[in-house]
Amino acid sequence: MGNSTSKAVRRLPKTQSKQVPKATESLDRLKNPSTSHDEPHTKPNAAMKDGQDPDFMNNLSKIDPVKIEKAQTNFRPSDKMINILRGRKVESEVDNAAMAYNRLSPQSLLVYLEERKNGGDVGQLNRSFNVNDSDAEIIEKYTAAPTTGTPFTVKVDENSGEIQRVIVSL
């Protein structure tokens, strides 16, 4: 099955079967499209005859619009598909109600803490994130938004081996 000795050897042809087009030829075709597309469009004979018919417009106005009757569909309450559709509806309602009161995803919690750190109306912020005020105080007490301190560099004195923290001014 996977033994290579039982398979026929594949060989490439010795000569080139057709000439490979050069890239400049394709660029020339893009720059100068062929004139075969510029020829005037010829209409079929049937269209020409319809255009010469003096009663064609009168005949078109006599045609009534097409009426499509609805196909009769019978739904049974015990249908399996109806149960599937009901299940999907319940799932979508559960998914839509996923943003419950006092529940925050980690990303939402990070955004909430950043907004709270920046200042502003805390009550409005709590309402926008659906967080209870007392729970917001507990969140703030035990968690904090990550902050970046003032940038600094470490300077080491080679003679004495002393390490200094130097604040970089921006």
pLDDT at 144 (0 to 100)? 65
Amino acid at 75: F
| DSSP annotation string for 53-70 | -TTHHHHHHHSPPP--PP
- For residue 66, is it within any domain? no
pLDDT at 10 (0 to 100)? 81
- For residue 103, is it within any domain? yes
Structural domains of the chain, count: 1
Which is nearest to 101 in space by CA: 137, 120, 124, 127? Answer: 127
pLDDT digits (tens, 9 = 90+) for 46-73: 778 777 888 887 888 888 777 878 777 7
Phi, psi of 73, rounded to the nearest 5 degrees: -115, 130
pTM of the predicted model as reported, rounded to 2 decimal places: 0.30
- For residue 146, is it within any domain? yes
Domain that holds residue 85: 80-170
pLDDT at 169 (0 to 100)? 64
Average pLDDT, the chain: 75
In this prediction, residues 32-37 reach a mean pLDDT of 58
